Amino acid sequence: MKITIAKSNGFCKGVQRAVDTVLSLKDKPVYVLGELIHNEGVLQMLKEKGVITLESPDSVKDGDTLVIRSHGVGKAILQDLERKNVKVVNLTCPFVIKTQKIVEEYYNKDYQIIIFGKKNHPEVVGLNGWCDNTAIVFENENADFSLVKAEKICVVAQTTVSKEKFAEFLKKIDNSYAKTVEIFETICYTTLERQKEADKLSRENDAMIVIGGTNSSNTKKLFDICKANCQNTFLVSSPKGLDYKILNRYKSVGIVSGASTPKNESMEVYLNMSEKNINTMDEAIEFLDEKKALKRGQKISVVISQVEDDGLKVYLDGKTDITLSKDQLACEVYNKADYEAGSEIEVVVMATKPKLVLSQKQILVLKEEEELAKELQEGKIINVKIDAKNKGGLTGKFGSFDVFVPAREIKIGFVSDLEKYVGKTLRIKPLKVEYTNRKKEIVGSQKVILEAEKAERDAEKLAKEEAFFASIAENDVVTGTVARFAQFGAFVVVNGFDCLAHVSDLSWTGIKSPADVFEIGKEYDFVVLKVDKENKKVSIGYKQLQPKPWDTVADKYNVGDVVTGKVVRIVSFGAFVEVEKGIDGLVHVSQISHEFLENPASKLKVGDEVNAKILGVDVEKEKITLSIKALLDAPVKEVKEEEKPKKEKKAKKEDDDEIHGWTESADAGVSIAELLNK
């Protein structure tokens, strides 16, 4: 009998991802919404590991872990789970997610959604949930489009439907619907590949075996395809459900399996059929020898026949006497009394050629490896030194395991130069672990670790930000530490959050740099000026908590006081002298010298330091009147008033007026600051 197994057998990528992910979850219990896959053996195994299947999400509570299987669910269910604070592990197949997005997009564009598939299939029910359950579902190619009244329709397919039937369905649209139509062939490519192989094998063989769950849509499609080409088609849910005697009448048999069928079940069917197809003694001997052939790394049981000084003699299969040297025994010191002839021990085949070498010590190594493999399969993070690179990524060793890190899994973002990672140690989380006698391999990722750490940091930052913005409001007085300077201000850390103190809010008198006011690392008090929660910005001010320069003038300066200041500006009617930062006083031209001056610049220049007497203080108008002349000795000879020319008498009168009014051209109500601006 010729037996052919389809190349596409075993779990599809989506199912494999679902099973691996659920097994890796450490939360207990783990709830799955509906059967994770349509395979009784796998479901039983998951149940034994604490996975609970639910028909409805209503029973899950706050904090529970719920797995969404590959069929997906409606949008409303996801939103409801989010509101309930359920930890959702969404394992929806990427092809299904793509279809969900199409449905949602075109529903929002006012298209009538048409779904080709089984109305009650969980995938179709989920798709309908992305258009508020308004979709029209057609279950077969004989569609009556007269029921569709919409001007615009969007057509999608359940990912596991028959490609041929969907094509027939689309012909109906072309022939009977002349309005706006958007068509998306959303059948999964792995489903298409299995359907192609099923079609080919069923045309080439006398009988076909389809292995898969009775609830599996894609398995039923495979059966329909095979049955159409080969009447001798058998559908079984597991290898135990197959009557192998019936198959002996056929010369050639093909084997196909659904996407939820483990690869080992297809192989079990194949081996069982091979065993039933032994027709001669030569074939039987050849088959038995093949089954009994020892392989390197294989664990076997042997019986001790003799205990000797240099080790043990053991029976293999009750016939062969093999030497097991004492250095291969699982003991620190070999003691003959610890071993008894006739007892059974477990050993590992270390070599088969040129002679058979066994080791009991290696059992301990294998047990450690098995424990390690289990930890790796559960997501144990390991440190791996990278030995080399290849076209696809990086390679290294972890104990007896070969490690491969695909280029896309090295870091967040694109890696252009793999060479720079050679010789470095990466933190790796296993994505896939193969552990057999022949193969010990880890496919791992550093990116998933970095992404998880980033997500944790982002979540922590978000929580801190939310707490910060909940505790701060405008006009609050806060204490902050100056972290760094910028040209436009200073960044200040307040309760762990960066706030900006703009340079204009640092001093009443104007500064060139924040460094004129602050020291890096020092704490100061600030007032909150503006809180922008949406853009996560907070503006704070320092000067607002400091007194304005003129607020203290009345307490510090009195008429008659002598002050020292610097000439900061010269105008036609006098000079402004800076008494202190932000406080200027006016020395009228007539108060500069005892002699008559046409221009103040003839006696003073900007930057001169002078002593002056305060003649008047008006805090409300922010004016201080000064006199340099009052501190100077008067000339020895004075000209009498009646002897002065008329012109000089007139000028004297104007001088007296200007002292009190700062000239008629200067508004008596204008402050020094306003005059400076002019």
User: What is the distance between the alpha carbons of residues 29 and 49, in angstroms, rounded to a whole number?
Assistant: 9
Radius of gyration of the chain (CA): 46
Sheet holding 207-211, edge to edge: 2-5, 252-257, 207-211, 233-236
Question: Does residue 568 come out as left (phi exceeding 0), alpha (psi in the -120 to 50 range) or beta?
Answer: alpha
DSSP string across 304-323: EEEEETTEEEEEETTTEEEE
Q: Which residues are identified as catalytic?
A: 123
User: What is the distance between the alpha carbons of residues 492 and 520, in angstroms, rounded to a whole number?
Assistant: 9
Confirm if 384 and 428 have CB atoms less than 8 A apart: yes
DSSP string across 11-65: --HHHHHHHHHHHH--SSSEEEES-SSS-HHHHHHHHHTTEEEES-GGG--TT-E
- Cα first-last separation, the chain: 109
Tokens of 123: 């995938």
Confirm if 42 and 265 have CB atoms less than 8 A apart: no
Q: Which amino acid is at 488?
A: F
User: What is the distance between the alpha carbons of residues 40 and 265, in angstroms, rounded to a whole number?
Assistant: 12
User: What is the distance between the alpha carbons of residues 574 and 590, in angstroms, rounded to a whole number?
Assistant: 8
User: What is the distance between the alpha carbons of residues 672 and 622, in angstroms, rounded to a whole number?
Assistant: 7
- Using DSSP's 3-state secondary structure scheme, residue 102 falls into helix
DSSP string across 147-160: G---SEEEEEE-TT
Q: Strand 537-541 relative to strand 497-502: parallel, antiparallel, unpaired? A: parallel
Confirm if 221 and 160 have CB atoms less than 8 A apart: yes
User: What is the distance between the alpha carbons of residues 42 and 45, in angstroms, rounded to a whole number?
Assistant: 5
Four-CA torsion 367, 372, 374, 379, nearest 10 degrees: 180
Apex 676 CA angle, 672 and 678, nearest 5: 115
Closest CA to 73 of 89, 52, 50: 89
Tokens of 227: 């049955």
Closest CA to 304 of 330, 335, 342, 338: 342
Q: Return the residue matching tokens 């008033």.
A: 641
Count of CB atoms situated within 10 Å of the CB of 155: 25
- Using DSSP's 3-state secondary structure scheme, residue 644 falls into coil
User: What is the distance between the alpha carbons of residues 644 and 632, in angstroms, rounded to a whole number?
Assistant: 22
DSSP state of 437: S
Q: Return the residue matching tokens 């590991």.
A: 49
CA 587 to centroid of chain Cα atoms? 69
